[in-house]
Amino acid sequence: MQKDYLIVGGGLAGLFFAHYLEEAGKTFVIIDAAKENTASKIAAGMFGPLGGQLSKLAWKAPEMIETLVDTAKALEQKLGSKFLHLMPVEVAFGSVKDANDYACRNKNETLNEHLSEIRNGSENIIAPYGSFEMLKGGWLNTKLFIKTYTEYLTNRHSFENKTFDYSLLVQTENGWNYQNQLYSTVVFAEGIGALENPYLKDALPFKLCKGQVLTIHCEGLAEDRIVKKGIYLVPIGENQFRAGATYEWDEVNEIPNELGKQEMLEKIKALIHLPFYVLTQEAGIRPTTKDRNPVIGKIKEFERTYVLNGLGTKGVVRGPWLAKTLFNHIENNLTIPREVSIDRIKRN
């Protein structure tokens, strides 16, 4: 029997999309190579409403956070697991100028809902110029979410652990045939794996970004908040914190190195007064695009074929909103905003 969807890639993008399919009663299979160091598994999972500037909300941030919270809560209920942790993100100012600029920000109701007034840094934080809080932030335990949802889908025969072979995908009159299973629609959500995807060719203007993260042990640091100044510390329980990340645009590979570790250690020492030691170091590659915006929508050249990629540095907060937007585009004919649409990409 023909299934509704084939999803290639079971990272945050593919899994959030699968959730919306399940909610709508659609049939699907995810094919995922189950690599250990994918961006989604390495991610610290942090989210908040800010983009590049301290006093300006990122594009559609409130809507994206709301979608993330609703989606993660529904998934937690479905899977009987807890992976979303809502908590403030305390940002320590790095200079007087940053503090002054923040003090002079253009306030409005939405901004006030998301960003606190300036305060003294909390205990054990090095914050000579003070700090503020992103009030609606937190982190998603991505490893736990992926493990739990993948197991659940595997038990329902909706998840296959194997590498997708593009040469075996054959177009049919009503959709696609992959290894003798028929599908109406294909959604490509392979993160950096899309570099191998012949259906996408120049449709994805990647400028990839390597990231490294540490897990540290630190006693005495509050575990009810994420703290940030050049680096973030995300409390993951039992005095352990995820510290990250590096942003490396030149030598992009998945190998942790000493340079990245030293950079992060220095930043941690500039953020907290407390002693700590390193438990693990990991590296991964973010699927970042040249204009830093995601890419979703229909691949023009092929019928019933879509892409969900370019989640970049913010897969947690963007993932659910993008998956929902793509779902509504395919199923309900809603328009994809140009900022994230594949249609904005100039092809060769």
Ligand X SMILES: Cc1cc2nc3c(=O)[nH]c(=O)nc-3n(C[C@H](O)[C@H](O)[C@H](O)COP(=O)(O)OP(=O)(O)OC[C@H]3O[C@@H](n4cnc5c(N)ncnc54)[C@H](O)[C@@H]3O)c2cc1C
Residues lying near ligand X in the complex (CB under 6 A) are found at 8-14, 31-33, 35, 38-40, 42-47, 163-164, 189-193, 196, 211-213, 244-245, 284, 286-287, 309, 311-317
CB of 60 to ligand X, least distance (A): 14
User: 129 phi and psi, to 5 degrees?
Assistant: -105, 10
Give me the helices (H) in 210-314, please.
Answer: 258-269
DSSP 219: T
Distances (CA, A) of 37 to 13, 211, 284: 16, 11, 6
How many C-beta neighbours within 10 Å does residue 83 have? 20
CB of 108 to ligand X, least distance (A): 25
CB of 267 to ligand X, least distance (A): 14
CB of 286 to ligand X, least distance (A): 5
CB of 173 to ligand X, least distance (A): 25
Which CB sits closer to ligand X, 313 or 328?
313
Which CB sits closer to ligand X, 14 or 121?
14
CB of 100 to ligand X, least distance (A): 28
CB of 152 to ligand X, least distance (A): 16
Helix, strand, coil proportions of the chain in percent (round to 5)?
30, 30, 40
Contacts of 64 (CB under 8 A, 6+ apart): 58, 317, 318, 320, 321
Distances (CA, A) of 240 to 39, 46, 84, 213, 223: 20, 15, 17, 13, 9
Which CB sits closer to ligand X, 13 or 99?
13
Q: How far apart are CA 298 and CA 322, in angstroms?
A: 13
Q: What are 134's two structure tokens? A: 């992103």
Alpha-carbon dihedral sign for residues 170, 172, 175, 177? negative
- Find out whether 233 and 227 touch, Cβ atoms under 8 Å: yes
The rounded Cα 218 to chain-centroid distance in angstroms is: 26
CB of 4 to ligand X, least distance (A): 19
Q: How far apart are CA 312 and CA 289, in angstroms?
A: 7
User: 154 phi and psi, to 5 degrees?
Assistant: -60, -45
Which CB sits closer to ligand X, 317 or 330?
317
